[in-house]
Amino acid sequence: MTSLTKLALGYPEILLSVICFLFLFLRLGRRRSNIPTNWPLLGMLPAVLSRLHCYYDWVADALSEVGCNFLFKGPWFCGMNILVTSDPANINHIFNCNFVNYPKGEEFREIFDILGDGIFNADHDSWKSQRKAAHEFISDHKFRRFVVATSHEMVERGLVPLLTRVAEERSVVDLQDLFLRFTFDATCKQVLGVNPGCLSPSLPVVPFAKALDDAEEVIFSRHILPRSWWKLLRRLRIGDEKKMALAWETIDYFIENQVAKKMAEVSKLRADKADLGEEMATDLLTSYLDRRPAVGDVTVESKKFLRDTTLNLMLAGRDTTGSALTWFFWMISQHPDVERKILEELRAILAKKQETCSHGKPVLFNSEDLTSAVYLHAALYESLRLFPPVPQEHKAAVQRDILPSGVRVDPKTKILVSMYAMGRIEGVWGKDCREFKPERWISEGRLRHEPSYKFLSFNSGPRTCLGKDMAFTQMKVVAAALIYNFRIRVVEGHVVAPKLSIILHMAHGLMVRVENREASRGAHLTVSAFRETA
């Protein structure tokens, strides 16, 4: 028996003290660090599960601590080892320089299976052909005018009257819900050519929207569960996977009905030998159907293509813009100085136009007026920097590679890019990175350009968002109308936190009170009716 063992047995209080010291040392050490402990068998998964309440901020803190890159170790034999990064150099390499080596990958398609073979899931030739078609339709001048006119119509006839009523009734409303209703109506009009009327005074229940929210939550849970676990739940149709199955049925029912109606419309016009471009609204589904040689005999494959394409377009149009507007209005409610500067900028724009309007009529802005709204643009960018609608993205390596940071990547390595964390890294945005400062986007009175691999809200490289300009125009039109006409304040004590979803929604909505702004009632200046020249 060694002298150390004899000492421990002879003086148990010493042994107990050593154990307590080690326990406290390890415990406190772990508390000071955001890097998760790699446990035998379970890997780092327990740390993720224990931090779900602050998941996105925890990932940001961990990446800040280690310098933008760390390897997450999942449970043994589950294939959950993931390289997590927010390093701009790595992101530029993955999204731009060596783009072909980092497709979405098979596992991404499995996790996002509800999106089918649409553009978000597609890789290689399928992605190229879909992107080419989408670019052709979205770049069409008539479609762009249609989008602008639709956005104005939804603001003028839906959003503004609804908020006016809320202000008059002095009631509390969920602004996030209103924005998602607005973007759903606008997206349905632009993609399907129909207005479901979600912004009508009764605020009707929207089963499709609820199903989409449910599906996005389940997709998030698939990211943090071992592949075999959630697949078993899916096979048994229990837990979250039961929710996914029900959401899938609702989504398919809505889209199949809308596609069938549109196909009947197009078929009738073709039978009458009408010009689709003249007789029908320039919505995207009409454009896709018009491109096909015949609509009558539709194959199973073409039906699936239309279903997948429609769902991908609906997701892109509704959720990202709705999320961006929600976080923007929360940020300006917390920074009244920013709101004041935006209001001053809008008043200056109106003063230059020197136009009059009828007493008490809400003021609307057209996209041409807002081209000079530099501070509003910068404030929206700053909100997107801190709260990107898509907070993280997955990639998978095809061949061996070495990233600019020196990290070696093997084939099939899974990579998680955290856009949310990137906006909170001092090495990327400076020591004030967590502050809301629109001024960081302005230089000598003009907008400052930042590379897309540093500001990833609209993606980067060949997969850059095709609808970026239209989405931003829509956000500016909405933001300008609401800031100029209303004073919006978050209800005192309302808890704001990100929802556990693939889209950065707020977990509890954004409950607000609304007041009519005196500046917009009886103002002697306004803009002309919303219009876009050909």
pLDDT tens figures, 36-76: 899 999 999 999 899 999 999 999 999 999 989 999 999 99
Residue among 311, 324, 392, 401 nearest 122 (CA):
311
Inside any domain, residue 496: no
Annotated binding site for heme, which residues?
Answer: 465
Question: Is the whole-model pTM more than 0.85?
Answer: yes
**What is the reported pLDDT for 2?**
43
Written as six digits, the tokens of 75 are 């449970």
Confidence (pLDDT) at 26: 44
Q: Is residue 65 part of a domain?
A: yes
Give binding residues as ranges.
465
Structural domain count, the chain: 1
Where in the sequence is the domain holding 50, given as residue range(s)? Answer: 36-97+393-433
- Tens digit of pLDDT for each residue in 274-289? 554 455 558 899 888 8
Is residue 110 in some structural domain? no
Q: What CATH number is given to the structural domain containing 423?
A: 3.30.43.20
Sort 153 into a burial class: Cβ within 10 Å, 0-12 / 13-18 / 19+: middle
Residue 452 lies in a domain: no
Buried b (16+ CB within 10 A) or exposed e, 400-434: ebebeeebebeeebbbbbbbbbbbbbeebbeeebe
pLDDT value of residue 529: 37
Whether 369 is covered by a domain: the verdict is no
pLDDT at 474: 95
- Environment class of residue 383 by beta-carbon count within 10 Å: exposed (0-12), middle (13-18) or buried (19+)? buried
- Going by C-alpha positions, the residue among 367, 135, 110 that lies closest to residue 231 is 110
Q: Which amino acid is at 57?
A: D
Q: Which residues of the chain have pLDDT under 70?
A: 1-32, 273-281, 292-301, 354-360, 518-534
Q: What is the pLDDT of residue 289?
A: 86
Does the residue 417 lie in any domain? Answer: yes
* pLDDT for 387: 98
- Tell me what pLDDT residue 280 has: 53
Model pLDDT, residue 101: 97
For residue 159, being part of any structural domain is answered with no
What secondary structure letter does DSSP report for 448? P
Asked if the structure places residue 399 within a domain, the reply is: yes
